[in-house]
Structure formats: structure tokens, C-alpha cells
Amino acid sequence: MTDPAAALQRAHQAMQAGRLDEARARIAAVEAAAPAARGAARHLLALVERRAGNAAAARAAFEAALALAPNDPNLHNNHGNFLDSEGDWEGARRAYARAIALHPGFADAHANLGIAAHRAGDAATARRALETAVRLNPGLARAWSALGSLLRDLGEREAAAEALDRALALSPAAPRALAARALVSAELGLPDEVARFRAARDAAPADRELLLHETAARIAAGDSAALGPLEAAVADDPLWAEGQQALAKARFELGEGPGAFAGLEAAARAHPEELDLWLGLIQLEGAALPADAVRRRVAEARRHLPGAAILEVAEAEFALRAGAPEEARAFLDRAEALPPTEAAVRTAARIAIRLGEPARAAALIETARSAAPALAHDQGLWALSETAWRLEGDPRHGWLAGHEGLWGARPLGLGASELAAIAAHVRGLHVRRSHPLDQSLRGGTQTEGTLFWRADPPIRRLVAAVAEAVSAHVAALPPPLEGHPTLAASAPARAAWRFTGSWSVRLAGAGFHVAHVHPEGWLSSACYLALPELVGEEGQLVLGEPPAELATGLAPLDRIAPAPGLLALFPSWLWHGTRPFARGERMTVAFDVVPGPATPQGRASGRLPPP
């Protein structure tokens, strides 16, 4: 064989055309005739076996090639791609780093390292690698796309839009870039979001997450046909539980009332072994219907799925909500021997408190935290600990809630006309006709999306004022205290706080918030934009008063009287709700804050726990 490189090129062409047996035969011929080319041959064989789906053979070929050609950067890069596809993300990162060490100008390897680091949550490495990749090769569309997605996750949405626009200029039909760019437009509140979601869906018509986002964008834009594509998708696949629940929830919030659940109910009855359909129906009905009606629904689901542990939890939870805690005592007795899941521990502790056994509730939570350390960060369980300790007179209550400065209120420093302009703008973002089913408000509406991500100048002005007040509150918090859900954060982590979720709530006359916590926050808030004339306790923010169904008789720890331009801040684990008011409009903005530098963000809210 006179030219092994040409022979391997022909083998590569055969692989690209899907003629894998021909490719293997050509590679074997090169290995037999040209031993010096065995490293390159084994490299190509690894790619052939990977294309064929033979992971073990591909791994063996890569290992042989690496032994023969340890200084080939392309080999290390392709090995990284293989390891990444096999789920060995750390191994992939090492392979990409080795390729870069051998060839610092290797843009593809930098891009691959950035993508792998982003997936692993290492934002700093990902950013360095992706910025290097686009500097080395400005025409590398996938690197621009990956950089845009990373910047979006870090909250730098304008920069993300620029990077994604660069990607789409190079590759206009790239599905991932189209989807990410549509999400950025939606998060910034830009008028092109619906058109961008349509373009993204044209490129990836089977992407159900995109369909849900497009539906929300069309509802926000006032499109009367917004639900059509989602209705069609659910009709085509009635077992798609997330789509069924999203459709029922949207119909309810657009004013259909409990009749909005009929489709989901029919799907659950037609497919009674599908637990997710029952859970979606129970969660929605649990927020909209009397507890006794939901108990009947849970019983119906349990007849079909008697072994589903989460339905046993739901049965106990709705017995409690219906005012029949004695009927849930058997679950409490059993829960102490169950694996410590958040739902089981929360419901059992709530039942113990309602039955007048707060010490038992506190012990159950402490045991669960010891067995499952992740529960130490569960804000809902801290709220129940606070309640149980206060009922018992346990000194730990002072350790948790007795620190001056844990909560308070600060003026935002906005003038009356400025505040009125912000309020008018936010009012226009309320497009639903009913309160969200999974949130704490009653008798009002809530904005879609994450409010503080929007590019609107009034929102940016509000964010600037809020950030200044939050920084002042954080700086005045008591010193770090090990193990405390609010005070454990170090001074540097506190100083680097960031917003997570943010939204606006508009309550009409007699509207209020039930007592709840914010499970995804560290500090939470109520920022008052507009208020009616209030008398006495009307509209007050009530802190530390447990939910009514626990029947504790405990008074609030504190109350904050609302005023336009006032910002109330408090620990996310602290029970909080509001007193109803007779008439008029109470419009607020709420948000959650967490300590530490920017990382990929999610939306937090005053979300009620599922059953």
C-alpha cells in the first residue's frame, strides 16, 4: 500500500456514507499493510464503532489509538466526544483539556470543553473555554450558540441575545440556537418572542417544552387561539401528563373555572394506571376545590394504584385539609418508618402539629434531616420546625427566629410619579383572569415569567431601587450562625447575593395570600406598588402565622403595614400571608434572593407544595 493516508480517507468516506463494513475492511487493510499508520487507523475504527453504536468496541479502539498516538489532539478531542456521549462528563473534560494542552489554538476542543463544563455546572471554566473558542474561530456557530445558552443561564440576557444572533447568522436553522434565542426574547419581554418561538418550533416540531413556552407567550400576547397547538398535542398523546396539566391550568387561569379540568379527568379515567395523570389532576383540584372533593379524587386514584406511596401521602394531606386529622393518624404512625422524602415528612409533621403533638413533629423533622442531609435546606420543613418549637416552648425557637434584623421593611426611594409609572407598566403585564393554581394568592392574578429579567425601562428602574434596598438589608443581617437556614451563609456569599424568581401579584377586593413559604429562596419579599385605602389590619403582611388548617392558635410573630414604595424582606422559611381588604387594588412585586455568585437560575415563587 503506497498511500495509507489516502486509504484511510476512503475508509472515512465509507463511514460517512454509512457503509460501515466497508470502512472496517479498508481500516484492517491499512493496519496490515502499514503498521506505522495503526494509530490513525485505530482512531478511525473507534469512530466507526461509535457510529455503529458498539460502545465497548469503540472504547477499546480509542484506548488502543491513545496508546499508539498519545500526542494527537484530534484523537483526544474525539475521545472526549465519545466519553461525553457515554455520560462520563469528567473523563470528557479531561480529554478536551489534553487536546487543548497539545494544541492551544484548537477551537473545537475549547468549544467542547465549554459545553461539558456548562453541563457540569462549572460556569467559570465554561465561559473561558467558549469565549476562547469564538475568538479563535469566529465562524464556529455551535460555540456561539453554547456561549449564548451559558450567558442566558448566568442572567446576562442581552449578551446572550448577541451571542445567539451570531450563531443564527452563521447557521440560521440551528434548532438549539433558535430555541435559546426565543427563550431570551421571552425573558426580556421583547415583542418578537411569539415569532421566535414559532421559528424554533418549525425547526424542532417535536420539542414539547418549546410548545409549552410558545403557548405561554401567545397567551401573554392576548392570542385567542393560543391553546390550539397544545390542545392538538394533548389529543394526539393523552398520556402526556405535563401537557394535560398545563392545558388544564391555562384554561382555569383564563377563566373557565373547575370545568377546565375535564380533559385531564377524562384522561386519568381512560388510563387509570398512569400515576402522573392522577397527580396532575389532584394537584390542580387541590388548589381549586374543597378538600372533601379532593379526598374523593385521591380515593379514586388509590383504587387503581393502591401501591403508590405518594397517593398515601396525598390521602393524609387532604384529610388534614378537610379538618379530619384523626383519620390521618395512621399515616403519621407509619411515616416514622418510611424513607424520609420531603412530601412524607412535611405531611406527617403537619398532622402531628394539628393533633397537638408538636414535639413529635419536631423530632420527626430532626430525624429526617439526619437521615437525608438535603432536607436541611428545605424551607418548608424549617417553617414547621419554627411552629413546633414555638408550641413546645423549645429554646431552639429563639435560635431560629429570635434574631433582630431577620426581617424588616425599607423604603425604595422612588418618587410618587416614578412609582406610579412603574405600577402602570406592571399592571399591563397582568393578562390572566384568575389566580395561578399552584401559587398562594386568592382573588387576583400573577404575571408570567420572571419579572426582573425583562428589558423594559420601568422594570430596570425598579430592579435598581430594589437591589439597593436588598443590599442594605443583607449587610445588616446578624452574624453568620452555623446550621441556621438564613444566617449560615458567610459574609462573602451574602455580599454576592442574587435574584432568582420575581413576579407581580395584583389582588382585587377581598383578595389575600394564604400562609406559605418560598421553597427556592433564602430571603423573600413584598414590594408595594399600588394600594387601596385600607382600614385596620386590611392588607397587612402577616409574618409567622401558621396556615389555618394547622389550628395552632399561634399569633403572628410580626405584622408589616403596607405603604406604596415600601419593600418588606424576610427569611424564605418564615410563614407569611396577608389580611384581606374590602375593595380596590393591591399590587405588589415579589422576588426571592439567594446568596452566592451567579449560577444557572430557575424561577422561584410563593408556590404551594403539591399533595
Q: Looking at residue 512, what is its pLDDT?
A: 58
Last residue of a domain, one of 366, 401, 436: 401
Each residue's pLDDT tens digit, 529-555: 999 888 888 889 999 999 999 999 999
Q: How many of the other CB atoms lie within 10 Å of CB of 596?
A: 15
pLDDT at 562 over 80: yes
In a domain, 436, yes or no: yes
Domain boundary among 401, 420, 442: 401
What DSSP element (H or E) covers 512?
strand 498-513
- Indicate whether 55 and 137 sit together in one domain: yes
- 524 and 459 assigned to the same domain: yes
Residue 88 near residue 53, CB atoms below 8 Å: no
Count up the domains in the chain and report the number: 3
What is the pTM assigned to this prediction? 0.83
CA 479 to each of CA 401, 412, 474, 475, 592: distance values in angstroms, whole numbers, following the listed order:
14, 25, 11, 10, 21
- Asked if residue 452 and residue 349 are part of one domain, the reply reads no
Give yes or no: residues 33 and 150 share one domain: yes
Indicate the burial class of 56 (C-beta count within 10 angstroms; 0-12, 13-18, 19 or more). Answer: exposed
Are 165 and 192 in contact, with CB atoms under 8 Å apart? no
- Which pLDDT tens digit goes with each residue over 197-221? 999 999 999 999 999 999 999 988 8
Q: Does 609 reside within a domain?
A: no
- Is position 604 within any domain? no
CATH code, domain with 508: 2.60.120.620
What nine digits make up the cell of 573? Answer: 422559611
Question: In this structure, are 387 and 442 located in the same domain?
Answer: no
Looking at the fold, whether 42 and 84 belong to one and the same domain comes out as yes
**Residue whose entry in the numeric block shows the C-alpha cell 478531542:** 77
CA gap 423, 2 in Å, rounded:
79
Q: 216 and 195 in one domain?
A: no
Instruction: Give the tens place of pLDDT for each residue, 103-127.
Output: 999 999 999 999 999 998 899 999 9
Residue 584 lies in a domain: yes
User: Residue 565 sits in which domain range?
Assistant: 408-594
- Is residue 61 in some structural domain? yes
CA–CA gap between residue 566 and residue 532 (Å, rounded): 14
Last residue of a domain, one of 137, 169, 200: 200
Predicted local confidence at residue 534, as pLDDT: 85
Are 72 and 57 in the same domain? Answer: yes
In a domain, 449, yes or no: yes
**Is residue 301, in this structure, part of any structural domain at all?**
yes
From the CA atom positions of the chain, what is the Rg in Å?
A: 28
- Tell whether 193 and 252 lie within a shared domain: no
Judge whether 114 and 146 are in contact, CB under 8 Å: yes
What is the model's pLDDT at position 513? Answer: 66
Q: Say if residues 576 and 555 touch (Cβ distance below 8 Å).
A: no
Query: Averaged over 61-65, what is the pLDDT?
Result: 96
For residue 606, pLDDT over 70 is answered with: no
Distance from C-alpha of 275 to C-alpha of 268, rounded to nearest angstrom: 8
Asked whether residue 549 falls in the same domain as residue 568, the answer is yes
Q: What is the pLDDT of residue 510?
A: 63
Q: Are 592 and 520 in contact (CB under 8 A)?
A: yes
- Residue 358's pLDDT is 98
* 389 and 412 housed in the same domain: no
pLDDT, tens digit (0-9, with 9 covering 90-100), for 407-450:
999 999 999 999 999 999 999 998 765 555 555 545 678 888 89
Residue 602 lies in a domain: no
Comparing 298 with 439, which gets the higher pLDDT? 298
Element (H, E) at 212: helix 208-220
303 and 346, same domain (yes or no): yes
Q: Which of 164, 158, 225 is nearest to 196 (CA)?
A: 164
Residue 226: CATH number of its domain: 1.25.40.10
Instruction: Fill in the DSSP letter of residue 361.
Output: H
Query: Strand 541-543 vs strand 558-560: parallel, antiparallel, or unpaired?
Result: antiparallel
Q: What is the mean pLDDT of the chain?
A: 92
